[in-house]
Amino acid sequence: MSLEKILSISGKPGLYQIVTQTRTGAVVESLIDKKRITVGAHSNISILSEIAIYTLAEEVPLRDVLKKIKEKEGGNPTSISHKDGKDVLEEFFFEVLPDYDEDRVYPSDIKKIVQWYNLLHKNDLLDALEDAKDSSEEE
């Protein structure tokens, strides 16, 4: 499973993976409770592989940020919760990505990234970070 198949849907908690595509959208399964829902093409959907984080120099793909969190945490769930306070989240994110743009990356974004990392870890999908890197290097 690669990050191309994992989605964030605006207005819905957590992450979803694509089960199948339909004429009018897609059937997706929640990584939180495994419930399946149908989302239409009109839904505001973000594919994780297309998300990037602003830094002072460039935009860093979310995949690279998740890899840095994985390295920092030794492949374990994060030492902080996505429910922790703004200062705790920002301090954690500064350790992961020291040059992130504090004006354009909000605490709510950091909260989502921490939650997404933990969801991917819980569902054994962090290996997708390595697989995708290997396949893009071979091209």
pLDDT value of residue 136: 41
42: amino acid identity, one letter: H
Tell me yes or no: is domain 3-48 CATH 2.30.30.730. Answer: yes
pLDDT, residue 3, reads 85
CATH of 51-138, one of 2.40.50.140, 3.10.270.10, 1.10.10.1650, 3.30.930.10: 1.10.10.1650
Question: Can you give the pLDDT at residue 28?
Answer: 96
Q: Which residues, including other chains, have CB under 8 Å from residue 134's CB and lie 6 or more apart?
A: none
**Secondary structure letter of residue 79 according to DSSP:** S
Domains of the chain by residue range: 3-48, 51-138
Predicted TM-score of the model (pTM):
0.88
Q: How far apart are the first and last CA of the chain?
A: 19
- pLDDT beneath 50, residues of the chain: 132-139
